[in-house]
Amino acid sequence: MVGLLYVVESQDLFHEQTSKLRSYQIVTPQVVTGRWKRHENGSETHRQNGHSDQITYSIKIEDVIHYLNLTKNKDFLSPDFAVVSHDVHKKSVRRHTGKPKSCHYQGRVEGREDSLVALSNCDGIRGVIFIGNESYALEPALQSSNNEHLLFPLDDSQSEPFVCGVADAHGEDNAPEVALSMTSFLRRKRNLPLTRYVELVLVVDNQRVSIKCTLSGNTTAVREEMVQLANLLDTYFQQLNIRIILVGLEIFETQNPFDMNGSAGDVLGRFVDWRKTQLVPRIRNDMAQLVVGRSGAYSGGVLGMAFVGTVCSASTGGGIGVYGNNALQYFSTVLAHEMGHNLGMNHDDTRCQCSGGSCIMASSASGSTLFSTCSGSDFEQLILRGGGVCLRNQPSQDSIITVPACGNGIQEQGEECDCGPPQSCTSKCCDAATCKLTKGSTCAAGSCCKDCQLSVSGTPCRPSVNECDLPEFCMGDTGFCPPDTYLMDGLSCQGNTAFCYEGRCQTLDYQCQQLFGSKATKADDKCFSYVNTQGTRFGNCGYSGSSLVPCSVANSMCGKIQCTNFDSNYPPPGAVISVETIEGSISCRNADFNLGTDVLDPGYVKKGTVCAAGKVCVDFNCVNSSVLMQTQNCDALNDCHGNGVCNDKGHCHCNNGWAPPNCNKGGRGGSVDSGPAEIGMCTQTRSKSSCYMPLDANGRQSMTEVSLSKTPNPQLLPGRRG
C-alpha cells in the first residue's frame, strides 16, 4: 500500500512539473572523471566526494553528447554568511549563520565559443545551458531515484506571457539582421575593460517563502534557491564585464513589513522606501530586488518593474519580480531584465541584436540569457554620464557572501589578489595559480594601485563630480579607492536655490537637460500649475490604480517636469513630446515616456527638488524640506566644529588641515569614509598646516605649507537648522 502511494505521488509530482512544458527530454548527466575513463553518476559522485573546484559533465542534448566544462563560482556564501529572517508576529529578527554549500558553477560547452553554462549541483543539477541560438533549462526530475533530469527549452518554462512595454516602439522595420556570436560579447567586454561590481541584496516576500516551504518544508531551501539565482545572474552579467555580488539575503518568514497590495508601481514604491529606511542602514548595497510570490502577473501582464539608471541611488535603486510557479531559470531572466533597467538599459528594439534572436532586455520576455548590443551601449552611456559610481569599488571581503576559492576575479578572504583563471589572467602583479602577489608587488588591482605598488595615502582616486559630491583618496593600505561619498541630503547648493539629494544638486534645469539635452531649461512656473492640474498623460501627479491623478495647485511643481528650449522634433527614446503655448507667449513642453509597463516614467520631477520656499518634492507632494534630513544626525557647525561638512553617512568631511572624525584637531582633512585629503603627515599652527611629503627617489623629504582658509560650509535655506 505504501509503495503504491509513493508511485502515485511521484507520478503526480512529475506530471505537475512537466504540465506547462511544450517539449522536454529526460537526461542523465554524468561526471567525466577523464576523457578516456568511465563516466560516473553525477549525484552519487558528489555525495561521496563533495564539490570539486572544477568539474566536467557529459549530457545528451537532442541526440548529441556535449561536455560542460565548469569552474566553481565563489561569489556567494561564506563561513560568515548571515541570512536575515524577519518574524513580525514574534517581533524578532534572526541571523542564520553557518557554512553553506559550495556547489555553484559557471563555464562553457567544450568546443563551443558561443556557449554559456551556469549550474548548481547542491541537490541534483539545476541551471541553464546556452549553445548558439538555443537556451535550455536543466533541473532534477521530481522523485526520480536514477539521476534523471528534465532538459527543456528555456522559453517553455514561463507559465504566462510576460509583456513589458511596446516591442516595436521607435524600431526600424527594415533594419538588417545581424549575425552575432559569443565573440561579439567578448569584444563588448573589451570595450568595457573596467570590471564593475554590483553589490546586490535579494529580498524574499512572505508569499514566496510560503510557496517554497510548502514544497520543501523549511526556509533553508529558500536560501539555497536564492543563492542559485545569484549564480545565474552573475553568469549573465559577465557578458558586460559586470559582476553580481550577493551581499545580503532578507527573508520575510511570517509577514511582509510593507503592504504588497496594489499595482506593481505601488509595491515597488513601498519596497524602495523600505530599502532606504530599513535595509541600507544595515547592509550597504548598490541595488536590491524584491522576489514577489504572486500566483500571477500584475495588471497588464507585468511580471517585474524597476527604475531606469538608478543603480547607486539610496531611494530608487531597486526593482521587483514575480516568482510564482515558474522555473527558477526563467525567473532569473525576468530579474536580470529588471536589474538591467537599474543599470541604465532600455528595452531593445529591432535594431538591437544578439545571437539568440531575442535578448534579455526585449520588451516581451523569451527566457533569453544574452544581452544585446544596445544593452551594452546603454550601460556604457550610464558610466560616461557619471552614473554607476558605486560600481567601481570591489566589495569588501567581509561583505561578500562567498566560499573563498581562487580563480574567478574577486579578491576574498585569504587571497592577496585574484585575476581570474590562469588561462585568462594578464596581470603581472598577481599569480593566478595561487592568488598571491608576485615578488615585489604590494597590490594587483584598483585605482590606488600603480605598477603593482600601492599609491601613497592621500593620493586622489575619485574627484568630486559636482558641488554635492565629495572626493575620495587612497588609504595607503589597499589598492582600491574608498566607496563614493557625497554631501548630506538637504544641504543647499547652486547659490542657496536648491538642495543636494543623493549627491546631485536637484535643480529643474539639470533634470530637463538630462531628459532633453544640454540646452534645455525649466519652463515657466505657470506651465506646471496649468498642465499638471489637468491629469493628462503630459501633466499629472502619478497614478491611482490605472487612473491618472491631477495635481493640486499646491503640488503642481511636483508632477510632470515642464521644460523649454529644446527641439521637440528629436525626442528622447520612448518619448512623445507635447508642445503647448499659454497666455499667448509662454512655451510649455513635456513628454510622455512609453518605456514599457515595467519601467517608471522618468519624466516626473525628482525627489528633493525645490517646489516652494523651504519646500521640496516628495512623492508628488510639496512638503517641508526638513524631511530630507530626518535620517541624518550631523550638524556641520557643532559636530564638525565649523571645519568641515557632513557627508551622506552622517560623518564629518574635514577641510584640509583638520582631522576626522570631528575636525577639531590638526590633521590631513577628509573623513573616515573618504580617506585623508592630504599626502604625508601634517603639523598644525594657527595659520597654516605643514605637511611632510613622502621620500622622493633621491631619499629627500620635502615640506609644503597649506593655507587653512576654510571650504565654505554649505548654507541652509530658510527653515533649516544650522
In contact, 132 and 114? CB cutoff 8 Å: yes
For residue 153, being part of any structural domain is answered with yes
Assess whether 338 carries a catalytic annotation.
yes
Determine the residue type at 161: P
Those residues with Cβ within 8 angstroms of residue 386's Cβ, 6 or more apart along the chain or in another chain = 465
Collapsing DSSP to helix, strand or coil, 389 comes out as: helix
Question: What letter does residue 539 receive in the DSSP assignment?
Answer: B
The per-residue pLDDT for 101 is 65
Task: Evaluate whether residue 281 is within a structural domain.
Answer: yes
**Residue 376 and residue 353 in contact, taking contact as beta carbons nearer than 8 Å:** no
- Whether residue 550 is contained in a domain is answered as yes
Phi-psi sector, 236: left (phi>0), alpha (psi -120 to 50), beta: alpha
Considering the domain architecture, whether residues 230 and 362 belong to the same structural domain is answered as yes
Of the listed ranges 57-66, 480-489, 566-575, the least confidently predicted one is: 566-575
Residue 81 has what pLDDT? 46
* 385, 256: one domain: yes
Single residue among 391, 416, 440 that ends a domain in this structure:
391
Phi, psi angles (nearest 5°) of residue 284:
-65, 130
Res 48 pLDDT > 80? no
d(CA 533, CA 559): 9
**Cα 99 to Cα 26: distance, rounded to the nearest angstrom:** 33
Q: Is residue 131 part of a domain?
A: yes
In the predicted structure, residue 77 carries a pLDDT above the cut 70 = no
Q: Give the annotated binding-site residues for Zn(2+).
A: 337, 341, 347
Please give the backbone phi and psi of residue 473, each rounded to the nearest 5 degrees, phi first: -135, 150
Q: Is the pLDDT of residue 693 over 70?
A: no
Average pLDDT of the residues of the chain: 79
Task: With residue 17 as reference, give the H or E element that holds it.
Answer: helix 2-18
Could you say which of 577, 605, 633 is where a domain stops? Answer: 605
Q: Indicate which residue of 338, 412, 472, 678 is catalytic.
A: 338
pLDDT-derived band at 416 (thresholds 50, 70, 90) equals: very high
pTM: 0.65
CATH number at residue 370: 3.40.390.10
Q: In which band, very low, low, confident or very high, does the pLDDT at 15 lie, cut at 50, 70 and 90?
A: low
Question: pLDDT (tens digit, 9 = 90+) per residue, 700-716?
Answer: 334 333 333 333 333 33
- Give the whole-angstrom CA distance, residue 427 versus residue 412: 17
What share of the chain in percent tops pLDDT 70? Answer: 76
Element (H, E) at 624: strand 621-624
Which of the four pLDDT bands, split at 50, 70 and 90, describes residue 398?
Answer: low
In angstroms, the CA 271 to CA 265 distance is 10
pLDDT at 658 over 90: yes
Q: Look at residue 56 and tell me if it is in a domain.
A: yes
Q: Residue 457: inside a domain, yes or no?
A: no
Query: Domain range holding 150?
Result: 2-158+194-391
Last residue of a domain, one of 366, 391, 416: 391
- Inside any domain, residue 543: yes
* Position 203 pLDDT exceeds 90: yes
Instruction: Report the domain count for the chain.
Output: 2
**Does residue 456 form part of some domain?**
no
CA distance 689 to 517: 44
Annotated binding site: 337, 341, 347
Q: Using 50, 70 and 90 to split pLDDT, how confident is the model at 682? A: very low
- Is residue 101 within 8 Å of 122, Cβ to Cβ? yes
